[in-house]
Amino acid sequence: MVKNRVLIFDALNVFMRHYVAHPAMSDNGEQIGGIIGFYYNVVNLIEKCKPESVIIVWEGGGSKRKRDLYPDYKNGGRPAKMNRYYEKDEIPDSLENRNFQIRTLVAILSNLPVCQVYIENAEADDAIGYMCKYKLKNKNKIIVSGDHDFYQLIDEDCIIYSPNSKSFINTDKVVEKYGVHPHNFCLAKSIVGDKSDNIPGVPGVGYKKLSKEFSELFLKEEFDNNAFNFFISNDVKHSEHPNKKIYKSIKDNEKLIERNIKLVRLDIDNLVHMQTKTIDESIENFKPAWNNLKAIKHLNENNIKNIDFLRHGYLLRTLTKGKLW
């Protein structure tokens, strides 16, 4: 166990990755890939990272503020379906199964020494951002998610584990891939856009072009709140600048970028009192306990034979000694 290390799961992001891809079935023929994949993702990372505590953050309803700001936010993507093992015409209606898997997974995890947090009308990103800034600021944090929005949280005490690439992402990795310091990733992403969230960017502008043309901005270690003004200020004579084409594109899309910043930036300080209270109480009142008999009962009730708690008992017991708050 590494003292003060906390493993934080962006639950729905991790669950959906396994839900659409993992082939596991229960004894009664029910798809359970989301449950099995998520569970083994948790225990494997406990073994690899040796955290003192584990937090699993579930979201419900997403961010109303962001949907009001941009109704097409996160719309337009393919519906997540268990389609890897089916012919196109045979894909089942999977919403009912997905809800079953999430309910069952939450019930199983409630008997393990992990802290589950459920936040309504907000995104898990925002809840995790709030935790990192206010509740866990003195902890060594590893966030498990494939969502690049978390890059803006990366610092010496916080890194990301990507289930997609199975790799840890720190400041050096972000700079190497995007040419952008994590503290400035929000601004860069607001200009480039994000297809996964259906956020359009400035046409013809990508991360590499931004980092090449404006390295003095995007490689800064400290975020410059006036960086955006650098592009739109009337004091800048765009026509005389060697990068006048990209300047003009950004200037012409000023409103788009201003809106995108509000969509991309984590809503840490816009959570309402009841949401922050839920987060605070979930962390402060958490007492790690392991009830393997109840967990096994949930497995048996749903004919799930793919999980062996006894095999991972030594790992799970280490979490009962950790102190989250």
The ranges assigned to domains in the chain are 5-169+267-319, 178-264
Among 3.60.21.10, 3.40.50.1010, 3.40.1390.20, 3.40.250.10, name the CATH number for the domain at 5-169+267-319: 3.40.50.1010
Q: What is the CATH number of domain 178-264?
A: 1.10.150.20
What does the block give as tokens for 175?
Answer: 């700079």
- Least Cα distance to 157 among 130, 135, 136 occurs for 136
Q: What is the pTM of this model?
A: 0.90
Alpha helix stretches (DSSP H) within the chain? 11-21, 33-49, 64-69, 95-109, 124-130, 171-178, 185-192, 207-213, 215-218, 227-232, 244-252, 254-264, 273-284, 292-301, 313-319
In the DSSP assignment, the letter for residue 206 is -
Helix, strand, coil content of the chain in percent (nearest 5): 50, 10, 35
pLDDT of the chain, 325 residues: tens digit per residue: 888 999 999 999 999 999 988 989 999 888 999 999 999 999 999 999 999 999 999 998 888 888 888 888 887 555 555 545 555 555 555 788 999 999 999 999 999 999 999 999 889 999 999 999 999 999 999 999 999 999 999 999 999 999 999 999 999 999 999 999 998 899 899 999 999 899 999 998 999 888 888 887 787 776 655 666 666 664 555 555 566 778 788 888 989 999 999 999 998 988 999 999 999 999 999 998 888 888 889 899 999 998 988 788 888 888 888 777 7
